[in-house]
Amino acid sequence: ALIALCGRARLPWPGGCRIGDRGMEQHFKVYEAFGDRVRVDDNGYAVEAGKAVRGTVSLVLPFRSRGATIAAVLRAVVAGTPLRLGQPNLSPEVLGVLNALTAVGYQCHPGERVLTLVPPSSVPEGDVPVWKVPGDKIEAGTLACAVAATGGTARIEGVHGPDVAPLITALNRMGIPTTDEPETLIVHGRDTQPTGRPLRAMATLTPGGLDADFEPPLLGLALGFPGTHAFSDPINPGRHSNLIPQLVRMGGEITELSSTECRFTGPQRLTGAGVEATDIRTGSALMVAGLNARGVTTLGGVDQIRRGHADLPGKLLALGADICEVTP
């Protein structure tokens, strides 16, 4: 947006929590493919638009980065050029952007190997196109895990069912009946019948795979369910080192197979303890675990949770959780 308005942009490095390399070099490859100049220093990075490009811009991403895919699509919109992007990310967030562009006349063809984008030849006439921003699938998934952890039943409205399909599959595998209706996720926690089947929650960037942001709350939930479960997040290599030590403080017995993989056998009875939200998803996972732990869990670092959730404690309180926010 800044490049479109000013022809240049200067931004700080992304972050706020320690979960590993953010992979900004993928974004820089996108800008360079459009002829932009990129400069980096300790404080952040600057991008200055190059000369207008002609013809189709083609590039291949080294891995299926969600952010870099969206950056490529939007940079093509700013340039007004067709785009041919190899190895794109096809997560719901990317498809949502493409749906918005389709509504104003773009030709979008998302494929697992190649994504193509062609701008409209003219601005559509008549009524202004309407596009609805999708609900936050990660917040919906976190609430679903919290409801499941306590054996409750709830309707979580405003989320597109197919966007959370891998989470629904995981919950059903553990024996938590979960369904989706148009714009609604329904968790039938009161009807839970643990199956004892092992859960393999492997975060991946492949189309239709488990989003990495679903992995932490699922881990906090699975500790209370029978079976030997395996969890992996190779996308954010620092996340397990944040979460697992906190769960161990609550009595969790978790074997770390590597910096990104772990295994444990449930059900485990956790005990309330003082823990810290070092990043958004660690905080939400600890809230899920704390709801099912014996005694009182005191969670610090609430500012991290606020970064990614709109009043998560308030929503859990409305669902009947014994939860309150206090000032130390």
pLDDT value at 57 more than 70: yes
Sign of the C-alpha dihedral computed for residues 148, 150, 152 and 158 taken in this order: negative
pLDDT value at 21 more than 90: no
pLDDT value at 131 more than 90: no
Name the helix (H) or strand (E) containing 187: strand 184-188
- The residues pairing with 12 across neighbouring beta strands, listed in sequence order, are 44
Q: Average pLDDT, stretch 285-300?
A: 94
pLDDT for 203:
93
**Residue type at 150?**
T
- The residues pairing with 9 across neighbouring beta strands, listed in sequence order, are 47
pLDDT for 164:
93
pLDDT value at 275 more than 80: yes
**Residue type at 130?**
V
Answer with the residue of higher pLDDT: 305 or 200. 200
For 64-68, 99-103, 129-133, 143-147, which range has the lowest pLDDT when averaged over its residues?
Answer: 129-133
pLDDT value at 23 more than 80: no
Distance CA 147, CA 14 (A): 31
Burial code (b: 16+ CB inside 10 Å, e: under 16) for 248-283 equals ebbbbebeeeeebebebebebebeebebbbbbbbbb
pLDDT for 304:
87
Where residue 317 falls among pLDDT bands split at 50, 70, 90? Answer: confident
- Domain 137-318: CATH architecture, name and number where available: Alpha-beta prism (3.65)
Where residue 208 falls among pLDDT bands split at 50, 70, 90? Answer: confident
The mean pLDDT of the chain is 91
First to last CA, the chain: 40
Cα–Cα distances (Å) from 60 to 25, 26, 230, 231, in that order, read 13, 10, 32, 29
pLDDT tens-digit series, residues 156-184? 999 988 899 999 999 999 999 999 988 99
pLDDT value at 87 more than 90: yes
pLDDT for 197:
95
Percent of the chain surpassing pLDDT 90: 68
CATH superfamily for domain 2-118: Enolpyruvate transferase domain (3.65.10.10)
pLDDT for 312:
85
Q: Where are the domains of the chain?
A: 2-118, 137-318
Q: Average pLDDT, stretch 116-129?
A: 82
pLDDT tens-digit series, residues 255-274? 999 999 999 999 999 999 99
Percent of the chain surpassing pLDDT 70: 97
pLDDT for 19:
66
SS3 275: strand
pLDDT for 24:
86
Domains 2-118 and 137-318 share a fold: yes
pLDDT value at 230 more than 90: yes
